[in-house]
Amino acid sequence: MPELIEKVSNTSSYIKSRCATTSNVGLYNHIRGFPVAKGELDALSPKVRAFIEESVLLCQPESIHICDGTNRENNMLLRILQNQGTIVPLPKYDNCYLARTNPADVARVESKTFICTNRRDEAIPTAKLNVDGKLGNWISENDMKMAISNRFPGCMRGRTMYVVPFSMGPLGSSLSKIGIEITDSAYVVCSMRIMTRMGAAVMDLLRSNCDFVRCLHSVGTPANGKIEQPSWPCDPERTIILHKPASNEIVSYGSGYGGNSLLGKKCFALRIGSTIAKKEGWLAEHMLILGITNPKGEKKYIVAAFPSACGKTNLAMLTPSLPGYKVECIGDDIAWMKYDENGQLRAINPENGFFGVAPGTSNKTNPNAMKTIFKNTIFTNVASTSDGGVYWEGMEDTLTNDVQITDWLGKPWIPKVTKTPAAHPNSRFCTPAKQCPIIDRNWENPDGVPISAILFGGRRPNGVPLVYESFSWQHGVFVGATMRSEATAAAEHKGKVIMNDPFAMRPFFGYNFGAYLKHWLSMETRAHSYGAQPPKIFHVNWFRKDANGQFLWPGYGDNIRVLEWILKRINNESCAKKTAIGYIPSDGSLNVEQLQDEINVNELFSIPKEFWLKEIDDIIRYFDEQVGSDLPPEIAHELNDLKIRIEKSN
């Protein structure tokens, strides 16, 4: 319903004078008087054309470029970006570039991200009086209109408006959805070309009049013809990211970075996606998807939800330390999951690339990522080296004495001397998924892959064991609902506070968390209606620390040992013992042989009563303050049962 935008734009007299010009004058095609520098108007469906017209009237660009997704177009955009100083080439690698952002635009801004619904309680649960709601921000229709009209009129003057048609999911799959992002950032266009299936083929699909999600984005710095363009235009003070699920609309202003500007990702695939999924009876989740083959050659697929910067990309590309195991990657961030006609839950990765955390990625931790990212990649906010390469914390072993390092801010950086990090902690690589050496042969299967287990997890330095299995689907949904994790640099949060992050979706819910829980609970009944069972649910924690602050578990490639136990549980092997919080590996059933360092298995799996009593108190308060009467009774029931079990435990 672009009516919103239309209303705002009709108020501008400047536009009315431009509109007087007729179409197709002079050398160019025109849309409402604005020249189309690139692209075929005839190829547009009426709905697409209407969306472009409304956006043009509102933003008043210098010209319009309808993207076809070709190499030629991409090269032209990369040249423009180099001329603007937005990116520099990295001659050490093949077709790689580095962007340094404005230091005020480095991560998602959750406090400026809103869901617009008719009633507030459709978008977010009703927090207790005088308590700050932490499960999303609501905005009224009027305020959304105001927010747009205060920012967008004329925001693209003197600059090009790009029209980016894209598919989330394999082109033409019944599980896929289409979007059009209108943006004034060539960096966004080049990144969307990596992260989604983008270009003319999508426009062709739309001609059969498919619907699409309307995504409007502006970095928000008009050039005005005279003022010199900054290399990273943005408007951090007025940044706002708006979603209107009722009309499948996304409007984002002021930021050029990541989830704020690549609107197919968090805005579409999760926030709008989760509302579509609820309506249509499936799930849109912040989850990696991987395939794992055991030494007998049996293959299973699993999904895992960890909060931002908590290990999804790493697990999705795991190099197993146990012989005979093979892991293959389908996706590292988002899963769309739906039951097939047999009641088997199947998942697709709606994305086409990885927008992965750079720091910590190394030949030791994630060799498959290292083999993926040194061609056709855009790096953002990492450090650069004098021999035309990149550098970040974790890449120490690639350094030689003769290279100089320049940090993400453009300042000289000396190893072991400079106190600030070389790369921003949320610096990222944006790289095509198909370049991953362990990409699964089914990663673009339009029917998705069958899912056997769902993992939840987070950064829990204390109290939470390496792995446990839920008692039932309902208990598993409770485990997802009570997820907590140490804050990371992926958003504006400061410090290492433990935050609730249910389902790793706290920043990404498109509708009321209480209704989301009900929807998850209903997925069991849905499986039963096909005569099937839903997948088993587990919780993992690679991040437990000992009294000296050292990780108790080596993590990374050794996480295969945990996956091995999970596989055995999927196959109903009896290798578990019951505890108050769930099933944990029975003695000796987790393979800890030939680990480099000795593991304190007892400490790793201990369930300290004091800790859990406090955890339960925290959860009670969290549900009471944040979710209130929107909490499904089944979840309250699970909490009560957990409390009784912990009280009885010793």
What are 191's two structure tokens? 């990144």
The pattern of x and - marking residues 93 through 112 that bind ligand SPV according to CB under 6 A reads ---------------x----
Decide: helix, strand or coil at residue 204: helix
Report what 258 binds from Mn ion, ligand GTP, ligand SPV, none; CB cut-off 5-8 Å by kind. Answer: ligand SPV
271 contributes a contact to ligand SPV by CB under 6 A: no
Comparison of 336 and 583: residue with beta carbon closer to Mn ion: 336
Q: Which of 116, 234, 267, 310 is catalytic?
A: 310
Check if the beta carbon of residue 274 is closer than 8 Å to that of residue 281: no
Q: How many CA atoms lie within 13 A of 305 on its CB side?
A: 28
DSSP 8-state symbol, 94 = B
- Name residues contacting Mn ion, limited to 308-337 (CB under 5 A): 308, 333
Residue 559 interacts, among Mn ion, ligand GTP, ligand SPV, none and using kind-specific CB cut-offs from 5 to 8 Å, with ligand GTP
Burial of 447 (0-12, 13-18, 19+ CB in 10 A): middle
Closer Cβ to ligand SPV, 5 or 483, answer by number = 483
Q: How far is the CB of 429 from ligand GTP (least distance, A)?
A: 10
The site for ligand GTP (CB under 6 A) is made up of: 306, 308-314, 332-333, 356-357, 359-360, 365, 490, 542-543, 551, 555-556, 559
- Start-to-end CA span in the chain (Å): 58
* Residue 530's binding partner out of Mn ion, ligand SPV, ligand GTP, none, with CB under 5 to 8 Å set by partner kind: none
From candidates 169, 170, 258, 273, binder to ligand SPV by CB under 6 A: 258
By beta-carbon proximity to ligand SPV, the closer residue of 56 and 251 is 251
The alpha helices in 317-457, defined as continuous H runs, are 367-372
- Token pair for 27: 């050398």
Whose tokens are 């205060």? That residue is 150
Q: Which does 557 bind (CB under 5 to 8 A by kind): Mn ion, ligand SPV, ligand GTP, none?
A: none
Minimum distance from residue 541 beta carbon to ligand GTP (Å): 10
Which of 266, 338, 539, 569 binds ligand SPV (CB under 6 A)? It is: 266
Distances (CA, A) of 68 to 44, 181, 200, 350: 12, 13, 4, 20
Rounded Cα–Cα distance for residues 18 and 14 (Å)? 7
Residue 351 makes contact with Mn ion by CB under 5 A = no
Here the tokens at position 633 are 């009774």
How far apart are alpha carbons 407 and 394 in whole angstroms? 14
Who contacts 577 (Cβ-Cβ below 8 Å, separation ≥6)?
A: 583, 584, 585, 586, 587
DSSP 92: T
Between 471 and 508, name the residue whose CB sits nearer to ligand SPV: 508
Determine the Cα–Cα distance for residues 211 and 209; give it in Å rounded to an integer. 6
Q: Please answer whether residues 383 and 405 qualify as being in contact, where contact means their C-beta atoms are separated by less than 8 angstroms.
A: yes
Residues 354 and 334: their CA atoms lie apart, in Å, by: 10
Query: From the CB of 335, what's the least distance to ligand GTP, in Å?
Result: 12
**Nearest alpha-carbon partner for 387 in 371, 405, 374:** 405
Closest separation in Å from C-beta 132 to ligand SPV:
21
Q: Which two tokens stand for residue 327?
A: 């892991």
Name which of residues 307 to 326 contact ligand SPV (CB under 6 A). Answer: 308
The answer for residues whose C-beta is within 8 angstroms of residue 261's C-beta and 6 or more apart is 183, 185, 188, 191, 217, 219, 252, 255
Nearer to Mn ion, 202 or 504 (CB): 504
Q: Which is nearer to ligand GTP, 388 or 555 (CB)?
A: 555
**Minimal distance, residue 247 CB to Mn ion, in Å:** 25
Instruction: State yes or no: residue 333 binds ligand SPV (CB under 6 A).
Output: yes
From Mn ion, ligand GTP, ligand SPV, none, which one binds at residue 542 (CB under 5 to 8 Å depending on kind)? ligand GTP
CB of 530 to ligand SPV, least distance (A): 32
Shortest distance, position 508 Cβ to Mn ion, whole Å: 8
**Cβ closest to ligand SPV, residue 275 vs residue 380:** 380
Q: Are 333 and 354 in contact (CB under 8 A)?
A: yes
Residue 252 binds which entry of ligand GTP, Mn ion, ligand SPV, none, CB below 5-8 Å type-dependent: none
Backbone angles phi, psi at 586, to 5 degrees: -70, 160
Say which entry of Mn ion, ligand GTP, ligand SPV, none residue 332 contacts (CB below 5 to 8 A, set by partner kind).
ligand GTP
Which residue in this structure is represented by tokens 């969307």?
192
Q: How far is the CB of 502 from Mn ion (least distance, A)?
A: 15
State which of positions 438-497 bind ligand SPV (CB under 6 A).
Answer: 490
Catalytic: 67?
A: no
For 545, the token pair is: 């620390």
| Interacting residues with Mn ion (CB under 5 A) | 308, 333
Residues taking part in catalysis: 310
